[in-house]
Amino acid sequence: MSFHSYLSSIITVSDELQEAFYKLTHTKEVKKGQLLVLAGERCNDIYFVESGLLRGYYYQEEKEITHWFAREDEFATCFYSFITHVPSAEFIEAIEPCELVQLPYANLQKLYASFPETERIGRLLTEAYYVKLEGRFLGLQFTTAKERYDDLMTHHPQLLQRAPLGQIASYLGITQETLSRIRAKQ
């Protein structure tokens, strides 16, 4: 979906707002495997995924841990770096070729100032990051690996066809072997 259609489904996009978006964002295409953000760099942009699949990951004792996935119609950024202007701890990688809309921090602030309805974007972003993180934090404590896997599959059924098992396993907080076994029994 285009960013514009997505926005229209969320808020009323007046002609002036559409104009402002046109000026304040720009599109970006990335190839499979390309890195959008490197750990150690500041992440000053939000990306809206028009098509494709991104993931955020970091290293934990040599091992790559996938922190999130962002598919079409979702926002992606290094949340903490974006909010605090501190260098990112994570990498953003395109798992698939992507069409993205890039919205710099400063431009988002301009939008907030002129079009209060755009604050919903900030909320969706917070929701995408904080709330999901909280949900996963709880999940880690209170649900089994199988439950977490089933939940992921109901919310994102095609993920298994789009991302390698190891990335999904680390996202779920388990080893690849365990995820493989979970899948084996129906």
DSSP per residue over 53-96, as a string? Answer: EEEEEEEETTEEEEEEEEETT-EE--HHHHHH-PBPSSEEEESS
Does position 139 interact with DNA (CB under 7 A)? The reply is: no
Within 8 A by CB and 6+ apart from 116, the residues are none
> How far is 186 from 32, CA to CA, in rounded Å?
31
Q: Which residue bears the tokens 């439950």?
A: 147
Interacting residues with its own copies (CB under 8 A): 60-61, 65, 79-80, 83-85, 122-123, 126-127, 129-131, 133-134, 136-138, 140-142, 173
Does position 174 interact with DNA (CB under 7 A)? The reply is: yes
Q: Which of its own copies, DNA, none binds 138 (CB below 5-8 Å, type-dependent)?
A: its own copies
Q: Which residue bears the tokens 């499979």?
A: 32
**Which region, judged by CB under 7 A, interacts with DNA, from 1-9, 40-48, 66-74, 169-177?**
169-177
- Of 146, 151, 153, 156, the one binding DNA (CB under 7 A) is 146
**Which spans of this chain sit near DNA (rule: CB under 7 A)?**
144-146, 164-166, 173-181, 183-184
